[in-house]
Structure 1
Amino acid sequence: MDKFTIAMAILAFMIVAGGLIYTAGIGRLVDIRKSEIDTPMNEKIQRHPYIRNPIFLTYLIALGLVGFYILYLAFTRSW
């Protein structure tokens, strides 16, 4: 394994770990809010519910990085 492969693996692990921590934090925040009072949703979130979801954002970022890595390997490796 070359250095770039190891760096990409570490970056991917950090993204997944960051997404997990962020999602857990949002989950706790939602549980606290639901137990106290049911608040109305922000108008921006109502218009764009998928863009504001951290899980979807994590998957999109990870998919982009994996795609970049596949293209990198396709153009740099000699078959």
Structure 2
Amino acid sequence: MFDMYLILSGLVLLILVGGLLYTLTTGRFVTARQSEFDAEINEKTRSHPILLNPVFLAYVVGIGLVILFILYHASRI
């Protein structure tokens, strides 16, 4: 039973880390286009563009939840 949870948790963690790396590498290749419909970027977003990215935050929260899941099930045994 423990092995199944460990393997599934490891697979989910691997998928999350792979998706995060793919998102970060893809984001480097995308150029920012300026058009007349672009909103003005505020100072916080300009100084911390990665930290305020909702995709990045979703990965951080997801990885944190997977780690908590692994630790919870590891401590029950």
The sequence identity of aligned pairs, in percent, is 10
Instruction: List alignment gaps of at least 5 residues for structure 1.
Output: none
TM-score by length of 1: 0.62
Instruction: List alignment gaps of at least 5 residues for structure 2.
Output: none
Per-residue Cα deviation, 1:5-54 (whole angstroms, up to 9, x for no partner)? 1111111111100111111112211xx22xx64864568x95xx644253
The 2-side partners of 1:74 and 1:41 are apart by: 48
Secondary structure in 1 matching 2:74: helix
Q: Report the equivalent of 1:65.
A: 66
Runs of 4+ residues over 2 Å off in structure 1 = 36-43, 49-57
TM-score by length of 2: 0.63
Higher RCO (CA 8 Å, separation ≥ 6 residues)? 2
Does the Cα contact within 8 Å between 1:12 and 1:62 map onto a contact in 2? Answer: yes
Which of the two has greater helix per residue? 1
The 1-side partners of 2:53 and 2:63 are apart by: 16
Does residue 4 of structure 1 match 2:13? no
> How many equivalent residue pairs?
69
